[in-house]
Amino acid sequence: QSALTQPASVSGSPGQSITISCTGTSSDVGSYNLVSWYQQHPGKAPKLMIYEVSKRPSGVSNRFSGSKSGNTASLTISGLQAEDEADYYCCSYAGSSTLFGGGTKLTVL
């Protein structure tokens, strides 16, 4: 049960686009279309942003999108806004367990 691999940090300027990668294995990300992404602001509970690789829950901006290729999933945020500054975590179903990535701190410059 190893954690999924995410970059520790990414940054971008307002209006730009950024992409956060999430690398797993053929036993988790590569085997299931059950990758989700969560946004967490300091001191707050995580919030679901993307589920089943690329679907957005009701109320989540269409600036957030997800994709997957092989064992790597990605979250793209377009038109960066100041309020997007937060920690982002990927998550994948892995059979009898669930794995999270180590988290990526997004800084909006």
Residues binding another protein (CB under 8 A): 1, 3, 34, 36, 38, 40, 45-48, 51-52, 55, 57, 87, 89, 91, 96-103
| Nearest to another protein of 12, 103 (CB atom) | 103
Question: Smallest distance from the beta carbon of 58 to another protein, in angstroms?
Answer: 9
| Nearest to another protein of 3, 109 (CB atom) | 3
The two three-digit tokens of residue 53, written as one number: 């690789």
| Nearest to another protein of 14, 41 (CB atom) | 41
Question: Smallest distance from the beta carbon of 64 to another protein, in angstroms?
Answer: 14
Q: Name the strand (E) or helix (H) holding 105.
A: strand 104-108
Question: Smallest distance from the beta carbon of 23 to another protein, in angstroms?
Answer: 15
Q: What is the 3-state secondary structure (H, E, C) of 41-98?
A: CCCCCCEEEEECCCECCCCCCCCEEEEEECCEEEEEECCCCHHHCEEEEEEEECCCCE
Contact 67, 22 (CB under 8 A): no
Question: Smallest distance from the beta carbon of 82 to another protein, in angstroms?
Answer: 23
